[in-house]
Amino acid sequence: MAASVSALSPGDDQRFGLSRHVVLPGPLRLDGGGLLSPVEIGYETYGTLNADGSNAILICHALTGDQHVASRHPRTGKPGWWTRLVGEGRPIDPARHFIIASNVIGSCMGSSGPATIDPSTGEPWGMRFPVITIRDMVRAQAMLLDHLGVGQLKAVVGGSMGGMQAVSWAATFPERVRACVMVASTARHSAQNIAFHEVGRQAIMADPKWRGGAYYESNDPPAAGLAVARMAAHITYLSEAGLTEKFGRRLQARPDRPDGAKSFGFDADFQVESYLRHQGLAFVDRFDANSYLYITRALDYFDLAEEHGGLLANAFRGTKTRFCIVSFDTDWLYPTAESRSVVQALNAAGAAASFVELSSPYGHDAFLLEAPEMNRVIDGFLRAES
């Protein structure tokens, strides 16, 4: 482990701050049997590690998220993806906490993935990049913490795929995690979850521009396929009630018809079609199609019970980590029942667990939106540490 860095402010040390990138020698032993070396990680830190190193909080991102949890995204220019929870005066606050957010391996925002260079060939990995798991992502984050000199985390916090990483952290490195916050997530991918992802992957791979994943040199990625993948997935992040409220059956405005008209063709007549097409197109500007394949695969492989002899409670046996689980009533991607089964396993293992199902009209995306009750719960949970 690296020497203690506790007294340093972010400015003194190149390891800390926004838009950091590190190449760690590795090797990282992967669940699939291979070794990854070197291990590149794009990350950011906010705030300062205190003298006894007790205020570090790791934020884990979702499928298409990144390390820019509370800073402007370099490609889209949009504010950080979880500024409602992370930031000044928020439950996770750089004034009090040392916050770490890293891009998962397999992704495309600076961490090792199919678009990064394979040192043995000097070319992008493409589909030769090893298939990774959620636990591999977590182990890479542990290597980053070693590099940063963070021994134990006050908390690991994540929503959706970030929540899977959070529980995987608690199960894989129990002694390094004092508290775990899992929001709108699950301990395993269901058949329906896998089915939706397979639609997305097939859309990408059916795009002739995908070319077996070797599209980097031509700089002509399978944008159409990736956009369709995003459109299909985006529906699963919303609720039917939310879609109805936002769009209903309303038609797109046209220059000659401000309240819209059917084209009797296949333009985006309905507002919901236009919205989804926009979501798809905006996505391809910031995300790599191969990364989408790899990360959805990691999600589909995720089954925390399977990693522990088929019994989820075994993942938490003897743990001293405190858990806080939050679900949303309209989330049909990772419904409350999934959270409840994690809670039951925690109870069976005698772990300190809190769980609440919150009400929101917004479906799975609720965790990223204004959710005062979620903030109140997480704030109280994080402050409770003795």
Partner 1 sequence: MLRPDLAIIAAHVARGARVLDIGCGDGQLMAALRDGAGVDARGLEIDPTNVASAVARGLAVVQGDADVDLAGYPDKGFDYAILSQTLQTARAPDQVLDHLLRIGQRAFVSFPNFAHWRVRLSLLWGGRMPVTKLLPEQWYDTPNIHHVTIDDFRAFVRQRRITVEGSWFLSRGRPTSAAAANFRAEHAVFLLRR
Residues lying near partner 1 in the complex (CB under 8 A): 322, 324, 340, 343-344, 347-348, 350, 352-359, 373, 376-377, 379-381, 383-384
- Of 207, 300, 331, 365, the catalytic one is 331
- Of 68, 300, 364, 365, the catalytic one is 364
Verify whether residue 160 is a known catalytic residue: yes
CB closer to partner 1 out of 154 and 297: 154
Could you say which DSSP state residue 305 is in?
T
Phi, psi of 143 (to 5 degrees): -65, -40
| CA–CA separation, 39 and 25 (whole Å) | 6
- Of 160, 239, 339, 360, the catalytic one is 160
Q: Residue 318, by phi and psi: left (phi above 0), alpha (psi -120 to 50) or beta?
A: left
Nearest Cα neighbor of 161 from 243, 237, 84, 77 is 237
- Closest separation in Å from C-beta 219 to partner 1: 49
AA identity, residue 211: R
CB closer to partner 1 out of 286 and 340: 340
Verify whether residue 13 is a known catalytic residue: no
- Closest separation in Å from C-beta 55 to partner 1: 17
CB closer to partner 1 out of 45 and 360: 360
CB 291 within 8 A of CB 115: yes
CB 149 within 8 A of CB 5: yes
- Closest separation in Å from C-beta 336 to partner 1: 9
Which pairing describes strands 20-24 and 322-328: parallel, antiparallel, or unpaired? unpaired
CB closer to partner 1 out of 303 and 329: 329
The full length of the chain comes to: 386
CB closer to partner 1 out of 46 and 381: 381
Verify whether residue 331 is a known catalytic residue: yes
Q: Quickly tell me which residue has 């997480």 as its tokens.
A: 378
CB closer to partner 1 out of 55 and 193: 55
- Inter-helix orientation angle 223-237/289-301, to 10°: 40
Q: Quickly tell me which residue has 């040390």 as its tokens.
A: 13
Structure tokens, 265: 């063709």
Nearest Cα neighbor of 234 from 78, 365, 65 is 365
- Inter-helix orientation angle 134-148/289-301, to 10°: 100
* 367 CB-side CA count, 13 A: 29
| CA–CA separation, 130 and 213 (whole Å) | 13
Nearest Cα neighbor of 178 from 377, 347, 382 is 382
CB closer to partner 1 out of 202 and 347: 347
Tell me how far the alpha carbon of residue 359 is from its chain's centroid. Answer: 22
Could you say which DSSP state residue 250 is in?
P
Nearest Cα neighbor of 328 from 316, 340, 312 is 340
| CA–CA separation, 368 and 79 (whole Å) | 12
Catalytic positions are: 160, 331, 364
